[in-house]
Every structure is written in structure tokens, then in C-alpha cells.
Structure 1
Amino acid sequence: MGHREDLLEGAKRCLLEKGFVRTTARDIVKESGTNLASIGYHYGSKDALLAEAYLALVGDLADAFDGEQAAPIDAEPGSLERFQEVWANIIGTMRGPGSMWRLSIEIVAMGDQLPAVRDHLASQQHDAARALVALFSGTKEEDVPDETLNTLGKFYTTLMTGLIMQWKFDPQNAPEADELAEGLRQVMEAARRT
């Protein structure tokens, strides 16, 4: 591995241990075995490096959502059963005390103090929403039209944000996938009656 990759891996470890605000450039250099000048040369700034590290951590979760580490998603795309299966896998990533999702809460809470990180991650939010729509609908990300991204993608992103907050704030009372599916079923039933 070169300095760029070493920095990224070191930043990922620092984020998981210390979070965004408490991680310093010196922490990353110590963890990665590189030097301070490498951060600017390869990433432009510590904040840009931390944003990339966070995105890499989220990307590492892809297998937990629908890859080899995940429970199989067998239900029909778009079905209530698939909704439950996908959320069960996502919620599974939130259970552990060392879950990287606490970093998402830190970004929300400290966004004004981390504007470069917030702005970089906000620009990536469309890609995350597109990936969620593809996962629930059983399609490829590139096949998700923009109009679907701007409706269903925002719906799933809003659910994801709420789940992260609930699982980190009050995990004993946070919703399980079957409860989410039942809630959605009730909403659908009520909409049919009106």
C-alpha cells in the first residue's frame, strides 16, 4: 500500500475510535505511519480525508446489507417482505456498540463545525439513496431514474436517518424490521380506505 491508502485506512481506524471532531491530523499520521504533508498532498485536507474515510466505512457495510455477510434477500422486489428483509440486514449493522453509524449522528449534530465534511457527504447522499432504491427494488443502481431517486430515494434516506438516530439514542426501544413492515402495511391499508 502507498501513503494514500495508508492514510485512508488510518483515518478509518481513527474515526471508529475517536469520531470526527476528536481525530487530529497527527492521530491519522500516527495510525497510518505516514507524515503530515501526505494528507495535504493526497487529500487536500484532514476533513476531506475524514469524509473519504467515512464513505469508505459506509461502503464496507454494503456486504452487510446485501452481500456475503447479509441474510439472504429472497422476497419479490418491491414487496412488503423484501422491505422487511432489507431493513433487517440494515438494522443488523446498527446493533453493535462500535457501530460506525454513530459517526452519522456526529455529522448531523456537529455539521456546522465540520462544514467541509458535511458538504462532501451531502454531495454523496444521492448515490446512497440510489443504492437503497436499487436494493429494495432489486434493480441496478444505474437503472434507478432520477424521479424515483427524488421520491422513493428520499423516503428510504429519511427512514435510514431516523433508524440511525433511534438505534444510537435508545437501542432498547428502537424499531425492528418487522415493526417497520407492519407500520408500512398499516399506512398502505389506511391509504386504500381513503
Structure 2
Amino acid sequence: MGNREDLLAGAKRCLFDKGYARTTARDITAASGVSLAAIGYHFGTKEALLNEALQQAIEEWGDELAETLSTSTDFETAWRRVIESFSASRPLWAIQFELLAHLERAPELRDAFAEANRQARIGLADLLRGLHPTAGEAEAVRIGAFYQVLLAGLAAVWMVDPDAVPSSDELLAAMRTIAT
């Protein structure tokens, strides 16, 4: 790996260990074995490096989720797997919830989150397309938005109290009740 890749790997480790706000440039250089000057050269600022590292981590999680869901043929199996994925991705969810409080003061971060949300909707619609094979494109995007909200809500509940997260069969039963 080169300095840029080493910095990204070190920044991801720091994000997971310390969070966004508590990670310093020195933490990143210690974790990556690269000089402080390299942060400026490759990314301009520590925040730009952390933002890119976070984006990479989210994309990696999305790839893992896609792999997990690729064999799901029904709602209950898909959402059971999503809920199970929270354990492995707890640090990533913690960072994202930490950053929500900073979005008002960081327009570039807000823009990155907004774009990630748009991509997540489309990605979830594509990932779970097999559950709704007759859905048209617009309907698939609406379904993706619903799944995105469900995913974020479940993650928030899981972060606070993992035992309080409803099971996938409870979610399905509740949706059926609401629909009628």
C-alpha cells in the first residue's frame, strides 16, 4: 500500500476505536505509520481524510450487506440477517449517529450524508428487488426508502438496547397489521 491507502486504513481504525470527534491527526499518523504532512498532501485536512475513510467504511458495509442479502428470498430472512449484521458493524453505526449531531455545522459532511442516503435508497431497492419482483422503478425507490428508514430505526434501537429490537417476524406481523 502507498501512503494514501495507509492513511485511509489508519483513519478507519481510529474512527472505529475513538470515533470521529476524538480522532486526532496524530492518532491517524500513529495508526498508519505515515507522516502528518502526508495528510495535507493527500487529503488537505484531517476532516477530509476522515470523511473519505468513513465513506469507504460505509461502502464496505454495504458490500457485505449485499452479499448477506443476495440469498434472501423472503422478508423475514432478509431482515433477520440485517439485524444480525448490527453486531459486526456497531462501530460504524456509532460513528454515523455521532456525526448526525455535527451535520448542521459541516455542510460538506451533510452533503456526503445526503448523497449516501440517496445511494442507500437505490441500493436497498436493488438488493431487495427479489422480494418485490413486480415493482416498477418508482415503486422500487419508494420501497427502498421505506427499507432505509426501517434499517436506520432498527440500528438506532439496537445501539441503545439490542434486546429491544423486534425480530423480523415481529416486524412482518406489525406491517401486516398496519396495512390492514
Flag whether TM exceeds 0.5 (same fold).
Answer: yes
Are residue 167 (structure 1) and residue 165 (structure 2) matched?
A: no
Aligned equivalents of 1:117, 1:149: Cα separation in 2: 27
Change (3 A) 1:127 1:63: closer
Cross-structure match for 2:71? 73
- Checking the alignment, whether the CA contact within 8 Å between 1:64 and 1:89 is kept in structure 2 is no
Kindly provide the CA deviation profile for residues 81-117 of structure 1, in whole angstroms up to 9, marking residues without a partner as x: x222222222112135854211121122333354433
Kindly provide the CA deviation profile for residues 131-172 of structure 1, in whole angstroms up to 9, marking residues without a partner as x: 111111139xxxx84x34652232122112211110101212
Shift of 1:3: 1.0
Unaligned stretches of 5+ in structure 2? Answer: none
- Checking the alignment, whether the CA contact within 8 Å between 1:6 and 1:34 is kept in structure 2 is yes
| Structure number having the greater helix percentage | 2
Aligned equivalents of 1:113, 1:22: Cα separation in 2: 17
Equivalent position amino acid for 1:73 in 2: T
Shift of 1:71: 7.2
Aligned equivalents of 2:36, 2:173: Cα separation in 1: 51
Cross-structure match for 1:79? none
Cross-structure match for 2:127? 135
Which runs of structure 2 are paired with 1:62-141 in the superposition (5 Å)?
62-67=62-67, 70=68, 73-75=71-73, 82-95=74-87, 98-138=90-130
Percent identity (aligned): 38
Equivalent position amino acid for 1:4 in 2: R
Count the aligned residue pairs. 176
Are residue 60 (structure 1) and residue 52 (structure 2) matched?
A: no
Equivalent position amino acid for 1:48 in 2: A
Cross-structure match for 1:17? 17
Change (3 A) 1:181 1:3: same
Shift of 1:48: 2.0
Normalised TM-score (structure 1): 0.78
Are residue 176 (structure 1) and residue 176 (structure 2) matched?
A: no
Which runs of structure 2 are paired with 1:150-165 in the superposition (5 Å)?
150-165=141-156
- Checking the alignment, whether the CA contact within 8 Å between 2:29 and 2:36 is kept in structure 1 is yes
Q: Secondary structure at the match of 2:71?
A: coil
Aligned equivalents of 2:148, 2:63: Cα separation in 1: 18
Shift of 1:11: 0.7
